Amino acid sequence: MIHPILRPGRLAVAALVLSLSATTTTARGQSGSMFGDATRRQQPLSSEIGDWQYQKVEEQRPVGLHTILTVRVDERSSVVSEGEVDRRKKASLDAVLGDWTLLNGLALIPDPQTAGDPKISGSWNNKYRAEAGIDTRDAMQFDIAVKVVDVRPNKNLVLEGHRTIRNNNEQWIFSISGVIRPEDIQADNTILSRNIAELQIDKRESGHVRDGYRRGWLMQWLDRYQPF
């Protein structure tokens, strides 16, 4: 008679447990992809193997001192301001001098005011009204190469770049500087201007086009001091 603990069903379960514990092979799901050879299909399922649209992300190149990066400048601003002033002043004066003194040698005596008491009267009315409005929209968009000129202790990078373009008598000068975090640099070594701290952009132009709309020194003085 077989002991209840050693019945065949329980013996089979115990043997299966011992067999699984002795096996060192790791269970792995089979790839459902039909692309590639049989060897690749036996590998673990991943986007690189199973997705024909998969594109490997380009690894970021190491960035250090004197590394050249590209900044994409896209700055836009819009300002709308309106003001109105309405000021009125009105004043009147009516005065009579009823008593005065007269100098007689070293003595002061009352002045009889024989010609009558001096009188003064007048009125002043001032009205000032002004209206002003301003609506400006600026946009600046260009790409410029910059160089890493310093690496701060917290790994932030200090950037600086200059560009000069000359076409006959026309000349454009671009300058940019700022601080960027390494994680804000994209895989193709480009940077967006909105991610740059302490951003300074200087854009100047000279030539016939600039001379056509620039203000002269007299107009600048009149606009600054507004004498009229």
User: At which residue do the structure tokens 């001098």 appear?
Assistant: 97
The domains of the chain are located at 68-79+137-225, 83-134
Q: What percent of the chain has pLDDT over 90?
A: 24
Q: Angle at CA 166, nearest 5°, toward 164 and 169? A: 140
Kindly compute the dihedral angle of the four CA atoms of residues 189, 191, 195, 196, in this order, to the nearest 10 degrees: 100
- pLDDT, tens digit (0-9, with 9 covering 90-100), for 116-159: 778 888 888 888 788 888 888 888 899 999 999 999 999 999 99
Give the alpha-carbon dihedral of 28, 34, 37, 43, to 10 degrees.
Answer: -20
What is the model's pTM?
0.50
CA 55 to the chain's CA centroid: 32
pLDDT band of residue 5 (cuts 50, 70, 90) is very low
55 vs 127, residue with greater confidence: 127
